[in-house]
Structure 1
Amino acid sequence: MMVALALLLLGGLTAVLAPRVLARSSWPDREPVLALWMWQCVVAAVLMCCVLAMALCAAEAWQVVRGQVFAPAPRQVIEAYALSAEGQPWAAALAVLLFGGGIWTAAMLSREVRATRSRRRRRRIGLRTRSPLLPGEEESSDERLVVLEGEHPDAWWLPGTAPRLIVTTAALRRLKGRQLDAVLAHEEGHVRARHDWLLHCSSALAAGFPRVPVFRAFRHQMHRLVELAADDCASRRHGRLTTALALVGLNEDRGVFGPCPAHRAQLPHRVNRLLSPAERLPVARRLRMTALASLVPLVPLLVAFVPGLSALG
């Protein structure tokens, strides 16, 4: 049972300390894609700690579960975990608590998926209302770009099995030259990277466990980093100045660049980041950090299997 407690301690420390460490780092703005990967690995490690601790607690509490968990293991491996013959009541309570957390997480994910599908269905109905098919015209899944009549410049993407890039006529009038191409490249970056899945998962975890620091920070950082990553995708194809001017053109009438921005407060930072880019991390360092982040979810596995591997060795 010491292994299960060690996993819970490791998960708790990671959930509390990882957001603080990453928040103090300056490199995520320079490497948003790497930061996205690191955040995913940290959250996966916390979830892995909970799942493994639940399995070991259940194995301690109930013989039936123990037989399933340690079915292929030799006797010396089972003995290495020092499981009691009669089981511990507190282990059963802890296993039930962790199992309930898993059920709650699944419920939050299901709710998020249902709500997203409902919103997407309403938006597609609204899209078809604003852009009806002409007589004899058939809807095609290859129709990637939709132009809507609108007084305000705007562009967004509608995810799904057939993603749509939507732009208003006001945006077409406002954006000059390659600025429209930069906006479309930004939205296509979201589509290709499937950023909607990251946003859904982070929102579900934060809604289900609002007091867990790592899940709160995960949701906040995902909404910020996916925009920075899409900005970089657009700037690589059309230039930083063009992308920055496109962002300003789309949002200058919304009061986000004034002294007291009402919403979308991160837009000035995004524009300044494009106009005054920081130097990227060296390739060797990026590779090391990627490899290090990939190993983070393996730490709980190592902790869980160390007694068994030691017994076999």
Structure 2
Amino acid sequence: MSNLNELVGVLKAAGESTRLRLLALLADGDHSVKDLTEILDQSQPRVSRHLKLLADAGLIERHAEGAWAYYRLTPSGQGADLARWLTSRVDPTDPERLRDRARQAEARSAQQALAANYFAQVADSWDLLKTLHVPEAAVEAAVLEAVGERKIELLLDLGTGTGRMLEVLAPAYERGIGIDSSREMLAVARARLVEAGLAHAQVRLGDMAALDSTLGPADVIVVHQVLHYFDDPGRMLAQAKGLLKPGGQVLIVDFAPHTLEFLRTNHAHRRLGLSDEQMSGWANSAGMDVQSVRLFPSDTNDQGLTVCLWSLVDRNKTEN
């Protein structure tokens, strides 16, 4: 329990309109300082000052990624309890809250449009680009090994890109569906699946930020080199969990934390890698546990990227 002065300090930190708006926005998911300044239409120093007060009070957490910083609600403890209690009582029809939500949606749409434009430009050479930085053969073998002898009636590949994971895992599933928001990527994927003779696999156009709940339930969900394109990977993981069968498995391939800012500026990355701590927190919030982690250091030393393979499982449910 907090002493009286500590509790008063926390309440003072939350008891201001802009800071309460920030808490409500962060209850919707992670945001960068840049996003929050645009949504609130306030200066960066002003927003940063409010965020520091909230962080000092233990209501939110800051995670630095290169030149950017991301904020989220504190995941556990008294600060988390109070933040969620407060945000749950914000009137969703309040005019200021409605404006913030509308600007939040605009910001996310703009980010997705940037990524979609990038994918449209690189669709034909996407697989080649990946091999410049990633020990792809080793990662693909590890993904296939991770599913093991599991019976896979339905596999979902979220952010399928050129459909490579559908090809790699083809022997392991009865039916595979790849989802992507880039028509150009899907055109490449369809051609590749036909060429490979994979009649039990298909790809579909879908909004990666708002996945169709009728896609599941799946035995295995693959999220391969996708989460770093999202400001809030936790929201995507929560959606993936909703598409998972009891006892199912989510396989995530992505970069470990790094400092290569050019991937953000030139290649539409939003997050400079994902840490084990972040993954555990996002998995926990979605009701899953990290079962295992494997690391694959880059085979191009000048790039210095490490790829991680996380296997997540549903915490509360088991297979029949």
After TM superposition, the score normalised by the length of structure 1 is 0.29
RCO comparison, higher one (Cα < 8 Å, 6+): 1
TM-score, normalisation: structure 2:
0.29
More strand by share: 2
Q: More helix by proportion, 1 or 2?
A: 1
Larger Rg: 1
